[in-house]
Structure 1
Amino acid sequence: MTGSTQDYAPHPHIGGRDAALRALSAWRGSAPGAPRVVVLTGGSGSGRSRLLTGFLMLCDPEYRKRLPLDEMDPSTVPPDLPAPAVPTAEGLTAAQLLWLLADHYELDAGSTEDVFAELAALAEPVTVVVPDVDRAGPVRATGEPARVVREVLAPLAATGTVRLLTEVPRPLVAELTSGLPSGTVRVIDLDEPEWADPEGLVLHAQAALNPEFGAPELPFTVDPAVRLALGAAIGRRAGSPLVVQLAVNGILMAPEGFDPADERHLPTSVGEALDLHAGRLGADPQTLRLLLAPLALAESDGMPVGLWARLVSAVAGRDMSQALADGMLLAGPFVQPREEEAADTEEGPRMSLGLLHPAVGDEIRAGLPSVRAAQTQVAMALLEAVPEQDWSKADPYVRDHIAGHTLEAGLLPQLLTDPGLFVHADPVPLRAAVEAVPASELGAPARTYLRTAPVLTRTQPPTLLRAALLETAFVEDGLPEYADAIHQRLGLELPWRTLWSLPVPGISAVTVGSLPHPDGTATPVAVLVVPAGTPGARPVGGPGEDSRAAVLVHGLVGPGDLGDVDPALIVRPSEEQRAAAPLGLSRGADYLRVWARADQEVVAALISDTPFTAADLSPDGILLLATERGAKALRIRAADPGIAS
C-alpha cells in the first residue's frame, strides 16, 4: 500500500502519496543512493502539481512550521534545509526561465552557455525545482514545453553541481533523461503501480463529500456510512485526482435523481465525467463539449464570460443562445470563474471563465473534428469583436491573444500588417507567436516588429512608447507608410517624429550644424564621422595623410542630396546657442534623455538594444544619434517621456 498508514497522519495538502514523498525526501536530503535528478511525471490530471506543491511546503523552512510534522511518517519529511530555488516555467519562454534562474543565483553570465558554465563552477551544489513545465510559454501553439526541456532542463540535469527536481509531461521525459549516467536520475510516474495512490483517491473523494469541508448537506453527504461508501466507490473508479474532483463536482452540482449505490454513474475518465454529467441533466454530451470548446482553445487561463458566450456559437457554427441560457449548470463542474481587472471601458472587476484543469481542455480538443478549423472560427469572431477595427478599443483578451488563435489557425501572417495591433498588443505573447512563424512567411512589417520585439519585451513600455519605438523602427527599415500610419491613424501624440534613418555602420561621432548659402539662408545638416571609404564621405586630413576616418554630411531635416560638401564650411551651434535652447541632452552607455530646461522634466528617454555611439541635439530640438546600425534624426516634441531604439 502506498497511501498513508494507520500509524501516521497523511500530508494535510496531499492526503497520501507516501511512496512518492519518501523518494522526494530522500532526494532532498541527498540520502545514500538517492539520485541527483528526479523527474515527476504522469498523465494530465494525475496530481503531479498537487504532489509537488505539497512537497515544497515541506521544503520551506517557514511553511513547514504550520504542518503536523510530528504526526507524519518521518521518511516522508525532508530535512530542514534552506528553501530550494523554485523558478516556475508557467507562462515563460525557455530563455526567460533560464535568466530567472541566473538572476536567483546572481550569476555574471552574458549568454545561456555562460549560465550553465557558472553553475558547473560553483563550489557547492545547488538545488533547483522547476514546476509547471507543461504550462511553459505565453502562447500554446509554440511548443515551449519541449524547448524548456531541451534548452534548460536537459543541460541542468547534465550539470553535476545541480540537484534537479522537475515536473514534466510524459512525452518529454525521454528527451530529458536520455544520456544521463546510470543512477543519476529517477522518474516518478504517478500512473505507474509503484507510485499509484488508490487510498489517497478514496480519502480525497470522502473529504470532498464531507459537509465539514464545504460540501452541501445532501442525503448522501450527511449520512457518514453512505458518504464513506460513495467516496470509496468514486476513488476506486476514478484513477486520478482530477477525475475524483470532476465526479464530486458533478454530483454535488446536480444531485437530483443521483443514486449513490449505482456505480454506473461514477466516471473512470475525464471524458466519462463530461458525458455522465450531461446525461444526468438530460442534455446532449456534444452540447456540453461545444460549450467548453472556446475555453479549451483559449490562451492564458480563460476569457471574459461575454466573449466566451460569443465564441460558443462561432465554434458550433450555429446559434447556441438556448444552450447558453442554462450553460453554467451544464458546464459548472468543469469550469472555474474568476475575477479580473476591468477593461478600460468597464467599471469594476469583470468575470472571466477558464477550465478547471488543462486535462479537460485536452479531452475537448481531442474530440474536435479539426482544431485548426475551430481556431479559424474563433479568430474570425475575435476580429469581428474589435470595434471599428480599432485595436485601442478591443477587449484586452482579443488584443493580447488573437495572435495565439490565428497562429494555431494558420492565419497569423495575414494579421501582421496592422501597425495598430503591433502598438496595442502585449508584446510578450505577440512576439512568441510571430517567432513561431517561418521567416519566409513574414512580411516586411512583421520582420520589423520581430526585430524590435526584444526591446519591447525587455522594457515593457506603455502603449505610447511602444508606438514611438515602432515608428522609428519602420523608418529605419524603409517602411515610412507604416510610420505615417502610426502618426495619422492611431490618434497618438508621439514624443517625436523620426525624420530619417541612414544605415551606415561604424559612426564614431555626430554633430549638428548648418551650411550657409550666399543668399543668407542656411541648410541644417548632420555631420557624421564614418570609416574611411564610406560611399559619399570626404576623407579627413590632407593629401598623403593616413586617416581611417571620413566625414559624411547629410541633411538634418530631410534626406535631400547635398552633394560634396566641404565640412569646413559647416557652422556648429555656439555654446551660447546650446545653453539658450529649450531642450537639453544627457547620455549614458545605453540611454539618452532629452529634458526641458524650463522645468528639468524629461520629455524623451531613449534606450537601444545596441549601444549609442554618438548623439547631438540641435537648438531647435532635432536629436541626431548613432548606434552600431547607423544614424537617425528625431524631431522631439516637448511632451511625455518616450523610448526609442
Structure 2
Amino acid sequence: MSGAAGIGGGPRRYLIAAVVADYPKNREWNRPDLVQARDRVVDLFTGSLGYRLHDPLPLSPTRQQLTEALRAFCRSPERREDDLLTLYLSCHGEILDDGEEHVLLTADSDPEDLVGTALPTAELTRAMLRDTNIRKVMLLLDACYISQGGNQLAAAALERLGATWGRSSGSGLVVVSSAQPHQPATAGLFPKLLGDAVTDLSVAGHGPGTLSVNAIVQHMNGAEDRPGNQRIGLAMVGLDGEPPTFFPNPRHHVQLNEVDLALQQAAAFDEQDQRRETELTSRLLVRAMGYQVEPGDDNTAPAWWFSGRHKALQDLAAWLNAPAGGEESACRVVTAAPGSGKTAILGLIAALSHPERRLTVPTSSLDLPQDLIAPGSVDVAVYAQRLTDTEILEAIAAAARLRTGSVGELLDALVHRERPLTVLIDALDEAATPHTLCATVLRPLIEHARGRIRLLLGTRPYLLPRLGIDPADRGQAIDLDSDRYADHEALTTYTARTLLQARSTSPYRERPQTVRPVARAVAAAAGKSFLIARITAGTLAAFPTIPDFDDPAWQASLPRHAGDAMREDLHRRLRDQAERATDLLLPLAYAQGQGLPWEDIWAPLASEISGRTRTDDDLLWLRRVAGSYVVEATENDRSAYRLYHEAMAEYLREDTDDRGVHAAYVRVLTDRVPYRGDGTRDWSRAHPYTLAHLAHHAARAGLLDQVLADSEHLVHAEPRGLTPHLHHARDDAARLAAAVYRTSLHLHDEATPGQRREVLALDAARAGARRLHHDLAHRIAPGTWAPIWATGSTFNPALRDTLTGHAGVVHSVACTVLDGGPVAVTGSWDRTVRVWDLTTGLPVGKPLTGHTGPVVAVVCT
C-alpha cells in the first residue's frame, strides 16, 4: 500500500498486484515471464509513485483466492471513501464462444470447462465495489483480448455507481487495458510502456503534483517499441474529465518551479488564489530574480541577480507604505519599453509584500533595506497576459473575498474595508483586450477610488492615456527609461553577473578582469533593455573565447534589439541547428494561458507548423541548448511551457502566417481528442488546454464553425474559453449553436458537463435546433431527464447575430425594456450611444450623438 498514503491529509494509495504464471491444468498456458512483469509494476508503484503494497495472494491465485482477497480488502473497516486502489492483474484472457463475455484464466481454470471455471472479468467490479467503502479504483489489466473485458467492467460498474451518484462525489472506475478486443497482449510489454510513460518528461515536467491518466495512455500508445497489433485502452465510468489522482508526479519539485515548500503546504486556496500564486511564482518572481541557467547545468542554480533600480523602488515603496489619501494616491504605473525590467520591479515588490515569500528575498545582497516594503502592502498580484476584462475584475474582487459583477458593485462593496485594497496588475498591454480593460475597468477604479482601492500597474507607455494618466506626470508614472529612473549601472552589473554565472563553463570565470569591460560594451549596445543584455551576455558566456572588447567593429556588431539578440544567439551558438530551435519555439509564441503542454502536443504542433518532423527528442535537445528561453509553469495540474518574455514571442511571430499557425493548432489539438467506441470524439478526455483554448485558435484560423458543429465540444469546453469567440461563428448552423449556448450563459460556468448538456439540450429544443437537440439529448445518461420538446421565452433569435454599427470599440452595455420589448443600450469610443432591439437584432432609431469623447458608461432608467 502507499508509502505516501495519507501524507498531509491526502488520499491513501493502495496497490494489489497479481499474476497467474502457472496453470496446472494446461502447462501450455504457463507464463513464467509474468513474475518479472509484476515485479516491475510493484517497483514502479511502491517506488516513485509512493504506493504501499498489499500482498494477500499466492503467486498464481485461483478464482476463489483472487475474488475473496479483493473482497476482504475492500470490505475492511479500515477503508475510507477517499482511498485510491490500483489493481494490476496479468494472466490469460479469453473470449467465450458466444463472443460477448470475456473471462480471466486463473490457476484453477480448466480448458475443458472455461464457462464453469474461468473468472468473468466483470466479477472483479462486483468484488471490489459492491457494498464496500471503496469509491475510486484503477484496474491495470494485462491480458489477451482484455479490452473487451475492460468494456464489460465499465458497464458492470454503472449500476453500482449510479446508486451512489449524488452521495459520493468523484466516485469512479478507471480501466487501463493492454490490448483492444481481438489483439493478443505481448507479455511484459505493458509494465515497460507504463514505466516509460510515468518517467518521461513529456508527460509532465516538475510543476504538476499529479500525472494525467489520459496523457500516460497517449504516451504508451505513441511508444516506438509498441507493436502495431497491441494498443492500450482506457475506459472511465462515473467521471467527467480527469480521473482521481492515481499517479503522483515523481518529478514534482517545488524548487524547480520556484515555489517554496512552505507555500505548497499552506492551507488550500480557492481557484483564484491558486492562479495568482502561479502567476507570482512562474512569471513575476522569475523575472524579479533575473537568473539565467540552462537546464542540465548542475553547477549553476537559481539565484537572485536583481540589480539596482533603487530610485524607482524607493518612490514606489513610499507610495505603498503611506496611508491612503484621496484620488491622488489611487494609482502608480510602472512603464517602459519592452525588456526594460517592469516585471522585475513589480515582481520584487510582490515578493517583498508577501508574508512568507519576503523571507526568501536576500535584501542584504540586493543592497535593499529589509523593511523597504511592509508585509501585506499588496493584497493581490495579477499577471494580465491574455486575461479578459471580466477575469481581471473577478481577480480583484476575489482578493477582497467579494463576488461582484461590475466596477460599481466592487467599489460599493469596498466601502466597508478598514484599509484600501491594494492590487498589483502587470502586463496590461498583453491582456486580451488592453484598451477596454484600461477604459472600462481600471480607469473608473482610479477615478472613483476615494480611498477604497489602490492600483499598482505595469504596462507599455501607449496605454497611459487610456488610463487617464499623463506620461509626464512623475507623481503617477514611473518611467524606467526616463533620466530619473534609468539605471545604467544596474544594467552593467546584471550583464556582468550573466557573463559569469549563466554557464558553469563561462570563460569569464577564468579571466574575471575582462568581465566589466565586456559588460559595459554589451550594456551600451542594449541601451536600457535588460532583456537584450541578458540574451547577448548568455551568448557570450557560451563561447570559450573572449572577444576583443576594445574593437570598435565588435562593439558595433552587438545587438540593439531583442529580436536581433535572439537571432544572433540562435544562429551563433546553434549554427545550422538554429532552424530546428526556431521550429520548436514558434508554437510557444502563440500559446494561451500559462503556456503550451508538452505531452503529445508540442512536438506534433511544431511539426505541423514547420512541415519538418520534430519529436520529443528535439524538445529535450532544446532544453539543453536553449532552455533559458522557456519557462515551465503549471495549469490544470499539468505542465505548461511558454517563452521567457513577450518580446521573444513578438520576434518569432514576425513574417509568420498567423492564420496558418492557428489552423495548425486546431488540427493538432482536435486530432488528439480520443475516440469513443461509436467513432465520435470523447471530449471528456480532451487535454485541458484543448478545452480551454481551442476556440481561441479556431476563431483566429477562421475555423470556429467546425468546432461549434460538435455538440460535445460545447458540453465540455471551458465556458470562459469559448464564450468570447462565439461572435466569430459564420454559417447558419454555427450561429444557431452559438445562440443556443448564449441563452443560458449564466449557468454554464458553474455547471458540470452533464448539467451543461441538459441545459443545452433544453435550450436547443426551445430554439428549434433539431440536429443540435438530437445530438445533445441522446447522450444524456439513462435515468436522467431529457427534453423532447420545449417552448419558452428564454431563447432569443437575436443572439444568433452580432450587433454591428459602431465605428469604434464598445465600452459599455446596459439592458432594459422599451415599449414592452428587450433592448440593449451601448456606448462606444466613436462618441455615440446606440439602442438595439434584442428580438430582431436591429438598431432602434438613430445613434445618439453629442458626446465630445468616448462613452465609457451607460445606465438605463
- TM-score, reference length from structure 2: 0.49
For residue 282 of structure 1, what is the amino acid of its counterpart? Answer: R
Superposed CA deviations along residues 256-286 of structure 1, whole A, max 9, x for unmatched, are 5664745567533221222212322222755
Map of 1:477-556 to 2, 5 A cutoff?
Answer: 477-488=767-778, 495-503=784-792
| Kept after mapping to 1: 8 A contact 2:570/2:578 | yes
CA separation of 1:446/1:27 partners in 2, compared to 1, >3 Å: closer, same or farther? Answer: same
Distance 1:188 1:440 in 2: 50
Distance 2:373 2:614 in 1: 56
Identify the match of residue 245 of structure 1 among 528, 534, 553.
534
Query: Which residue does 2:466 correspond to in 1?
Result: 175
Distance 1:440 1:260 in 2: 67
- TM-aligned CA deviation for residue 216 of structure 1: 1.0
- TM-aligned CA deviation for residue 73 of structure 1: 7.4
Map of 1:116-515 to 2, 5 A cutoff?
Answer: 116-119=411-414, 126-134=420-428, 143-159=432-448, 160-161=450-451, 162-178=453-469, 186-211=476-501, 215-238=503-526, 239-252=528-541, 254-255=542-543, 259=547, 261=549, 263=555, 266-280=558-572, 281-283=574-576, 288-305=581-598, 306-319=600-613, 324=618, 327-328=622-623, 331-337=626-632, 352-368=640-656, 370-388=657-675, 390=681, 391-434=683-726, 443-457=735-749, 459=750, 461-488=751-778, 495-503=784-792
Distance 1:438 1:172 in 2: 32
Secondary structure, aligned partner of 2:307 = coil
| Kept after mapping to 2: 8 A contact 1:21/1:77 | no
- TM-aligned CA deviation for residue 407 of structure 1: 1.6
For residue 465 of structure 1, what is the amino acid of its counterpart? Answer: Q
Identical counterparts, % of pairs: 25
Secondary structure, aligned partner of 1:38 = strand
CA separation of 1:81/1:318 partners in 2, compared to 1, >3 Å: closer, same or farther? Answer: closer
Distance 1:437 1:42 in 2: 38
Map of 1:605-616 to 2, 5 A cutoff?
Answer: none
For residue 755 of structure 2, what is the amino acid of its counterpart? Answer: L
| Kept after mapping to 2: 8 A contact 1:249/1:333 | no
Distance 2:442 2:322 in 1: 20
| Residue range with higher mean Cα deviation, 54-63 or 307-316 | 54-63
Question: Structure 1: where are the runs of 5+ without partners?
Answer: 1-10, 138-142, 343-348, 506-645
Secondary structure, aligned partner of 1:354 = strand
Distance 2:358 2:615 in 1: 50
Distance 2:762 2:463 in 1: 42
CA separation of 1:193/1:392 partners in 2, compared to 1, >3 Å: closer, same or farther? Answer: same
CA separation of 1:110/1:149 partners in 2, compared to 1, >3 Å: closer, same or farther? Answer: closer
For residue 374 of structure 1, what is the amino acid of its counterpart? Answer: V
| Kept after mapping to 2: 8 A contact 1:25/1:76 | no
Superposed CA deviations along residues 354-387 of structure 1, whole A, max 9, x for unmatched, are 212222111111332x322332333334334444
Secondary structure, aligned partner of 2:349 = helix
For residue 465 of structure 2, what is the amino acid of its counterpart? Answer: A
Aligned residues: 474
CA separation of 1:322/1:132 partners in 2, compared to 1, >3 Å: closer, same or farther? Answer: closer
Distance 1:398 1:153 in 2: 31
CA separation of 1:194/1:437 partners in 2, compared to 1, >3 Å: closer, same or farther? Answer: farther
CA separation of 1:382/1:487 partners in 2, compared to 1, >3 Å: closer, same or farther? Answer: same
More strand by share: 1
Distance 2:483 2:659 in 1: 37
Secondary structure, aligned partner of 1:188 = strand
- TM-aligned CA deviation for residue 309 of structure 1: 1.9
- TM-aligned CA deviation for residue 448 of structure 1: 1.3
Q: CA RMSD in A?
A: 4.0
Identify the match of residue 391 of structure 2 among 76, 83, 96.
96
CA separation of 1:199/1:338 partners in 2, compared to 1, >3 Å: closer, same or farther? Answer: same
Secondary structure, aligned partner of 1:301 = coil
For residue 408 of structure 1, what is the amino acid of its counterpart? Answer: R
Secondary structure, aligned partner of 2:776 = helix
- TM-aligned CA deviation for residue 67 of structure 1: 5.5
| Kept after mapping to 1: 8 A contact 2:604/2:615 | no
| Residue range with higher mean Cα deviation, 222-231 or 297-306 | 222-231
CA separation of 1:361/1:67 partners in 2, compared to 1, >3 Å: closer, same or farther? Answer: closer
Question: Structure 2: where are the runs of 5+ without partners?
Answer: 1-302, 795-861
Query: Which residue does 1:617 correspond to in 2?
Result: none
For residue 132 of structure 1, what is the amino acid of its counterpart? Answer: D
Secondary structure, aligned partner of 1:495 = coil
Superposed CA deviations along residues 574-595 of structure 1, whole A, max 9, x for unmatched, are xxxxxxxxxxxxxxxxxxxxxx
Identify the match of residue 47 of structure 1 among 341, 356, 381.
341
Superposed CA deviations along residues 166-205 of structure 1, whole A, max 9, x for unmatched, are 112332211102599x979521222333322221122222
For residue 388 of structure 2, what is the amino acid of its counterpart? Answer: T
Secondary structure, aligned partner of 2:456 = strand
| Kept after mapping to 1: 8 A contact 2:492/2:520 | yes
- TM-aligned CA deviation for residue 20 of structure 1: 0.9
- TM-score, reference length from structure 1: 0.63
Distance 2:356 2:616 in 1: 51
For residue 404 of structure 1, what is the amino acid of its counterpart? Answer: H
| Kept after mapping to 2: 8 A contact 1:386/1:395 | yes
Secondary structure, aligned partner of 2:455 = strand
| Kept after mapping to 1: 8 A contact 2:307/2:366 | no
Residue 37, structure 1, aligned to residue 331, structure 2: yes
- TM-aligned CA deviation for residue 419 of structure 1: 0.5
Secondary structure, aligned partner of 1:474 = helix
Secondary structure, aligned partner of 1:151 = helix
Distance 1:183 1:229 in 2: 36
Distance 1:362 1:202 in 2: 25
Secondary structure, aligned partner of 1:498 = coil
CA separation of 1:174/1:64 partners in 2, compared to 1, >3 Å: closer, same or farther? Answer: same
| Kept after mapping to 1: 8 A contact 2:597/2:640 | yes
Distance 2:485 2:753 in 1: 50
| Kept after mapping to 2: 8 A contact 1:94/1:148 | yes
- TM-aligned CA deviation for residue 409 of structure 1: 1.9
Query: Which residue does 2:256 correspond to in 1?
Result: none
- TM-aligned CA deviation for residue 155 of structure 1: 0.6
| Kept after mapping to 1: 8 A contact 2:499/2:506 | no
Secondary structure, aligned partner of 2:575 = coil
| Kept after mapping to 2: 8 A contact 1:278/1:330 | no
For residue 101 of structure 1, what is the amino acid of its counterpart? Answer: I
Distance 1:312 1:258 in 2: 35
* Structure showing greater relative contact order (alpha-carbon pairs closer than 8 Å, 6 or more residues apart): 1
| Kept after mapping to 2: 8 A contact 1:89/1:135 | no
- TM-aligned CA deviation for residue 17 of structure 1: 0.7
| Kept after mapping to 1: 8 A contact 2:425/2:458 | yes
